[in-house]
Structure 1
Amino acid sequence: MAFENPTRDEIRGILENAGNIAVVGLSDKTDRTSYMVAQAMQNRGYRIIPVNPTVAGQTILGETCYASLKDIPEPVDIVNVFRRSEYCADIAREAAEIKANVLWLQLGIVSDEAAAIAEENGMIAIMDRCIKVEEAVTQPDRSKKG
């Protein structure tokens, strides 16, 4: 059976219940898409956890950056991936190891192998979708929670 992303209603539920979002491939350069998307999600009230081995130990968006998902010392709800497709299967395996709930491959990223690994390990897989766009169309403003 061919892969299908969750419905918009299912995505709404995923985002409503998400707290920590690990962003694999988050750049420390403010003009990069990964930075802009992560910043927008942070501004909407989500906790962003940067994952980028080249800047591990430094901060991005005020958060400590980790070299890998396995280095994150707290639970992760969504693993949001800004890496090329050929790296996604390994990222899916690491996401399974840390028991993430969702493997989210950003717009333009598709890996059937990563989706299969995610599903085999009880994760929801989402591919070729921008988390910022999906959040904007499905969520009330979380930053106003109080």
Structure 2
Amino acid sequence: MDHDRYASAYICSILRSVHTIAVVGASPNQSRPSHGVMSFLLGKGYRVIPVNPGHAGKRILGQRVVAHLADIAEPVDMVEVFRASSRFSAVVDEALALQPRPRVIWGEFGVRDDAAAEKAEAAGVRVVMDRSPVTEYPRLVRRAS
């Protein structure tokens, strides 16, 4: 897949089909992008599970934080990644170890690792990198409604 450009239909189908999203790197700090994206996703009706070992057991935006993806007790449709690109591969490995696997792994703005994306795609997981649902949702989903 060409991760420099995504077809609008590809992104739209992801945002319309996922329901439960794990946010890796979630932060309780309101000035952090992950906090704003979590708030946005919750406001659009998604089930959001914050993942951050430094805040495990606490709550972010009313949602209980887990330490690792493996600690999530329900299937997740999408893993939203707020980690440095150098950590993306490790998150992909954690996501691929889940049963069932998520259908999508999404790297936020600035998060890109083509080799990790290729590994996920080889396992049947769709990948988006260097994009944000906060910008894509209003551009694609609202217009398509």
Distance 1:23 1:85 in 2: 15
Once the two structures are superposed, the pairs formed by residues 44-123 of structure 1 within 5 Å of their partners are 44-98=44-98, 99-123=101-125
Residue 139 of structure 2 aligns with which residue?
A: 137
SS in 1 for 2:13: helix
CA RMSD of aligned residues (A): 1.6
Distance 1:4 1:31 in 2: 28
Residue 144 of structure 1 aligns with which residue?
A: none
CA shift for structure 1 position 109: 1.1
1:5–1:65 Cα change, 3 Å: farther
CA shift for structure 1 position 2: 5.2
* Identity, % of aligned positions: 38
Q: Which amino acid aligns with 2:116?
A: A
Residue 14 of structure 2 aligns with which residue?
A: 14
Alignment length (residue pairs)? 141
Distance 2:140 2:57 in 1: 33
1:6–1:68 Cα change, 3 Å: same
Q: Which amino acid aligns with 2:91?
A: I
Q: Which amino acid aligns with 1:135?
A: Y
Q: Which amino acid aligns with 2:44?
A: R
Comparing 106-115 and 17-26, the one that deviates more = 106-115
Instruction: Determine if contact 1:5/1:126 at 8 Å carries over to the other structure.
Output: no
The runs of 5 or more residues in structure 2 that have no matched partner are none
CA shift for structure 1 position 4: 4.8
Question: 4+ residue runs of structure 1 moved beyond 2 angstroms?
Answer: 1-6
Q: Which amino acid aligns with 2:72?
A: I
Taking structure 1 as the reference length, what is the TM-score of the superposition? Answer: 0.91
SS in 2 for 1:80: strand
Distance 1:72 1:32 in 2: 23
CA shift for structure 1 position 130: 1.0
